[in-house]
Structure 1
């Protein structure tokens, strides 16, 4: 590789220790990967249960899913949505009925790594000869080709087209995201297929890795070559699942090299549009394939990093960075002008050979400062530098919140017929249990997902309305979901029992919930809208670090949701939330505001509100007042209530029942201050004033 100076070993070990401290270790990498895989499983369940077959499978890709990022790098969240209604075939023998079939065309006019898509007939493996849709164009040979600009038709508010991606900018508390829509290939195209059969001169990638890669899908994504005159009708081949397999095979030293490359480029070059993270990953793949695996070890990380940067510099010099799987595809083709190339080479010349002093200038995750502390170059530790345990807790708590939010996303499927929905959930659970070891870890979560679906209780609402009873079948469905989290499902059960007139049973359920609800640990989780978490409890961070995803049902409290069909399962005070919007308010709703059609409340305020109502019914005034005081206390002190305005509306109605009309009005005004539109507080204020005057 290089002649290795003696001090490289010392730098390598301390550099590796710093990376350990900021979460680049096997523990956090595996947690990040597992979170991403659970996330994509549940997103796929949500999409299929929602009947969105056009994008039937979701894949989380990129740095977040690979575990090749840190808190400070703030890597985008990358998602690939596979359009399962479509299929790209290599020849007519692969034509598939009941799908939109596209024949892949690759010839001397298509750049390497790209193709064109010819539309075939829906009822036979024959070319379509006539199409007037603007998303298609007819070439000189009469073939009807699909334009990649079709992706533009699905751009939503807040998104913009960047290559094949629909990009959303980062917001307070939320990462930037890239979503790619892709068409699956029936089989691997010829150019990437050649890589599968290529004999490696080194031990990486192994034959087993290639066998697994062969089992993954290839895609085409909607973007043309920068160097092409026909970019609008070109589609790029994507082997992203095979590449994810390669990243999953990397050892921790190789991952550390990759992350350091990204940090160095972001610090000293800062031109992501010219040298992307994907290029860094590709360079790393080539370096690993060209050197013995024995060199990729912790004590040699500094030398390995130098080699990666040296290889990247050669790619820049020659304007040639071949895709690792589709070798003919040059990732740098048409990427930058001669002037930009010269600027990049001048910057790289200051970095190669890369020395330890340059590392001290990296501010991402305070890496430079942490390294100086390791070398005793500075004594005073900056106040915002997190200790390793603190860093781990922050990262793992974020990952657990992410999973919890995806579970809540599934609940937004809508109020559907249980008989239709249940078989889909069971089928998906069976599918994931039959998968590989990663798929089997996903299936652990599908039981919770099933419970969320089964928690739809519209038939209970009907029974309560007719005869104030709950059917045994409804109770079985509800009980199946009791362990989805600490409180929300049990609160739905308590709400049903209260509305059915079973006050003693309700009091017992609520008492059990209160015993289990450890306020110093449990975090309320809401995904009805882009709610920014303000503060994370130390107890939550600690337990999420110790136990991971399995802690979800013990330290998370989802908000409690009731659909309009469940109106009779809700006390009348909460029913007002189902009618929060006037005709004028409806004009001020945004995308994803359909949750406002139901009644949604955070678990802990609803617990105390139900206790207040129940103890009033049971004529236990002392406990009733305690519940009222707790309701007011939690609204004031709990940082992360997603529906604080609803809790204030409930508190206000309790105050009215206490004949404390001034306090009630104060609650409603505070609620209206939090959410000016689509808020039932407007109705409460009018009623409260009318009652006060009368």
Structure 2
């Protein structure tokens, strides 16, 4: 079979089909890119709107769309400190910022040193501090440990790997590798020759190179291990240019790269973990594309393309030389391959190259080998695009959730009303000035602020007049479609608090009609908890829609700030006082939400229905709502605030005069969250009540 005419073409086509089945096709690749570019915008726009000098970039496989479910790639996040100005020419010096001159010579190649400059004049700084070092020539140089100190001051933790800090993700979320970087607006000197080079593949194009040149570069805090300046040396990064190159790959080239990573994960990493990296594979791919005619990179020639790249990787390992594609003086393999491992790695690659594709049958990642056999045998295999699409939409929804939380966190100790108005104004300005994901992000986030602004205005008018002002209703109406339920539940909560049970019931009935239990997914990232896979109905809709589906497939948890307390029923308002003074000492930086009343949408829907039907005297509907509340707490897998829902259920049971059941609810709640839980108060209150009734 392996020597039959057309074997290479047939296997290549089947292999391409298998990769498409596991989400490596143009549609899913573009979805991945858009999702993570949205996340990149989520971190950067808040910086702009509160005048914090910083930018965030998502890089690597997730943002490139060059991963699969089985590869399970981390998220690479580069945080750029824009209050620094790294220059290569004195003409780029700017007043009022931290200016550093990039020093590049043979002693630190391919990295650089950063000489401190004065911020008020074109002169070198001559006074060092704990973050700087005076070298033998009198230059004041920035230590690469300085960014570590900044991260420590911000109470950001993680395990350091080279320039990156690895932060373990919440259960159900990806781990994040965070790299702190300083910006240089000019293209690095060591890469200028690259702009003029052109291989037989005529790739990258002149247009791509012009774009790359305009991206400038970064410097990241890591030095060469064998350098005498290890704690002073900085690595030059052209990561935005590299992302541009990845965004311009063909589907055959992307599939080739993913296969290389699967081979790496299956055959090399289990035995030689820290030798060959995916970035080396990417670099080898770049070199192969640049030095191979473009007609080679076809779907029906995928097996040949893969062999070409593996052979190039083999030669790089043999010579222990993998030059960076843009900065060739940077040998990526220097010091990475121990002499004792080298022959074993070469033997593995030799066998794979000579296997004519049969070695791919041994890849268990994404069931690739099994899928290839099914495809060659003309048997059906399961496509995973819907699961991937569902995961990506939840990721996008979580980015919106994170952005709102960041803003609310930054607004503490300030006027929420003024802050919300300012944020809305700035987001609207950005919306009309920008295109693409920035425009999308603003359109998704601004309504969240409208809801919050409307709610806090309503709280003020309820306190003064026991009514909801027209201004409050206008603002909240602009935010009613953030998701299926959370904003509408705030509106229902306002009506309930002024005693307008008819309008409360109408709003709640409308929410329940749109809350399809087979489709809608709860969204909460207030704390880490194990998330179960999303519903099939949710995934199916996400596969055919983009981020606009957030509005009718997700249900954010409902947040009430202390300034919104008059829009909150007293049963939920207790949650604003969940922490004792002693417990506050054990709260982390991300626990700021514990001073708010926060509840998952679906339990709050049924709780409000129970209270509303109680006031309306509709006993059958009231009992139905109570049953649904209890069932939701017991059966919904992805509740972020189950303990709060149990506290609400307990108070409902007290109203039903089922005190033993109520006590059981509070105890269950306390088992879920031992600290920072108002269930302790409810238990004490209820026991006192029971004792007094004896």
The TM-score with structure 1 as length reference comes to: 0.94
Tell me which residue corresponds to 2:33: 33
**Runs (5+) with no aligned partner, structure 2:** none
How many residues are matched? Answer: 677
On the 8 A contact 2:215/2:241 being kept in 1, the answer is: yes
Any residues of structure 2 matched to 1:186-225 within 5 Å, and which? 186-225=185-224
User: Counterpart of 2:545 in 1: which secondary structure?
Assistant: helix
Instruction: Quote the Cα distance in structure 2 between the aligned partners of 1:100 and 1:511.
Output: 57
Pairing 1:374–2:375 present = yes
Instruction: Quote the Cα distance in structure 2 between the aligned partners of 1:624 and 1:84.
Output: 56
Q: Which moved more, 1:335-344 or 1:466-475?
A: 335-344
Tell me which residue corresponds to 1:12: 12
CA apart distance, 1:348: 2.4
CA apart distance, 1:345: 2.3
On the 8 A contact 1:57/1:83 being kept in 2, the answer is: yes
CA apart distance, 1:5: 7.2
Instruction: Quote the Cα distance in structure 2 between the aligned partners of 1:418 and 1:92.
Output: 45
Tell me which residue corresponds to 2:285: 284
Tell me which residue corresponds to 1:298: 299
Any residues of structure 2 matched to 1:379-418 within 5 Å, and which? 387-388=382-383, 391-412=384-405, 413-414=407-408, 416=411, 417-418=416-417
On the 8 A contact 1:45/1:410 being kept in 2, the answer is: no
Pairing 1:145–2:141 present = yes
Tell me which residue corresponds to 1:529: 527
On the 8 A contact 2:417/2:456 being kept in 1, the answer is: no
On the 8 A contact 2:447/2:478 being kept in 1, the answer is: yes
CA apart distance, 1:433: 5.1
Q: Which moved more, 1:225-234 or 1:555-564?
A: 225-234
CA apart distance, 1:665: 0.8
Tell me which residue corresponds to 1:353: 354
Any residues of structure 2 matched to 1:583-594 within 5 Å, and which? 583-594=581-592
Instruction: Quote the Cα distance in structure 2 between the aligned partners of 1:342 and 1:188.
Output: 38
Tell me which residue corresponds to 2:650: 652
Instruction: Quote the Cα distance in structure 2 between the aligned partners of 1:618 and 1:49.
Output: 45
Tell me which residue corresponds to 1:319: 320
Q: CA, structure 1 residues 172+611, in 2 after alignment: closer, same or farther (shift >3 Å)?
A: closer
CA apart distance, 1:604: 1.0
On the 8 A contact 1:49/1:421 being kept in 2, the answer is: no
CA apart distance, 1:459: 3.1
User: Counterpart of 2:145 in 1: which secondary structure?
Assistant: helix
Q: CA, structure 1 residues 643+221, in 2 after alignment: closer, same or farther (shift >3 Å)?
A: same
Deviations along 1:173-193, one digit per CA (max 9) or x if unpaired, are: 222220011111131121223
Pairing 1:454–2:450 present = yes
CA apart distance, 1:67: 0.5
CA apart distance, 1:63: 0.3
On the 8 A contact 1:111/1:228 being kept in 2, the answer is: no
Tell me which residue corresponds to 2:174: 175
Instruction: Quote the Cα distance in structure 2 between the aligned partners of 1:489 and 1:125.
Output: 54
Choose from 102, 117, 122 the match for 1:125: 122
CA apart distance, 1:580: 0.6
Q: CA, structure 1 residues 672+50, in 2 after alignment: closer, same or farther (shift >3 Å)?
A: farther
Tell me which residue corresponds to 1:671: 669
On the 8 A contact 2:431/2:443 being kept in 1, the answer is: no
User: Counterpart of 2:91 in 1: which secondary structure?
Assistant: helix
CA apart distance, 1:663: 1.2
CA apart distance, 1:440: 1.6
Instruction: Quote the Cα distance in structure 2 between the aligned partners of 1:4 and 1:223.
Output: 52
Instruction: Quote the Cα distance in structure 2 between the aligned partners of 1:565 and 1:428.
Output: 23
On the 8 A contact 1:560/1:601 being kept in 2, the answer is: yes
The TM-score with structure 2 as length reference comes to: 0.94
Q: CA, structure 1 residues 242+169, in 2 after alignment: closer, same or farther (shift >3 Å)?
A: same
Deviations along 1:474-518, one digit per CA (max 9) or x if unpaired, are: 222212211110110111111122212322222211111111111
On the 8 A contact 1:92/1:126 being kept in 2, the answer is: no
On the 8 A contact 1:37/1:65 being kept in 2, the answer is: yes
CA apart distance, 1:4: 11
On the 8 A contact 1:226/1:333 being kept in 2, the answer is: no
Deviations along 1:442-480, one digit per CA (max 9) or x if unpaired, are: 412312201112322333222211221223222222122
Instruction: Quote the Cα distance in structure 2 between the aligned partners of 1:310 and 1:606.
Output: 60
CA apart distance, 1:333: 2.0
Q: CA, structure 1 residues 404+170, in 2 after alignment: closer, same or farther (shift >3 Å)?
A: closer
CA apart distance, 1:90: 1.1
On the 8 A contact 1:111/1:225 being kept in 2, the answer is: no
Deviations along 1:286-333, one digit per CA (max 9) or x if unpaired, are: 100111111100110000000000001111111111111112211112
Q: CA, structure 1 residues 433+65, in 2 after alignment: closer, same or farther (shift >3 Å)?
A: farther
Q: CA, structure 1 residues 430+218, in 2 after alignment: closer, same or farther (shift >3 Å)?
A: farther
Instruction: Quote the Cα distance in structure 2 between the aligned partners of 1:570 and 1:62.
Output: 44
Instruction: Quote the Cα distance in structure 1 between the aligned partners of 2:507 and 2:47.
Output: 34
Tell me which residue corresponds to 2:683: 685
Instruction: Quote the Cα distance in structure 1 between the aligned partners of 2:449 and 2:95.
Output: 32
**Runs (5+) with no aligned partner, structure 1:** none
Instruction: Quote the Cα distance in structure 2 between the aligned partners of 1:146 and 1:13.
Output: 53
CA apart distance, 1:222: 0.8
Instruction: Quote the Cα distance in structure 1 between the aligned partners of 2:210 and 2:158.
Output: 37
CA apart distance, 1:257: 0.3
Q: Which moved more, 1:588-597 or 1:683-692?
A: 588-597
CA apart distance, 1:432: 5.8
User: Counterpart of 1:679 in 2: which secondary structure?
Assistant: coil
Q: CA, structure 1 residues 4+427, in 2 after alignment: closer, same or farther (shift >3 Å)?
A: farther
CA apart distance, 1:227: 3.5
On the 8 A contact 1:319/1:332 being kept in 2, the answer is: yes
Any residues of structure 2 matched to 1:566-645 within 5 Å, and which? 566-645=564-643
Deviations along 1:46-82, one digit per CA (max 9) or x if unpaired, are: 344465x24x211111000000000000111111111
Tell me which residue corresponds to 2:440: 444
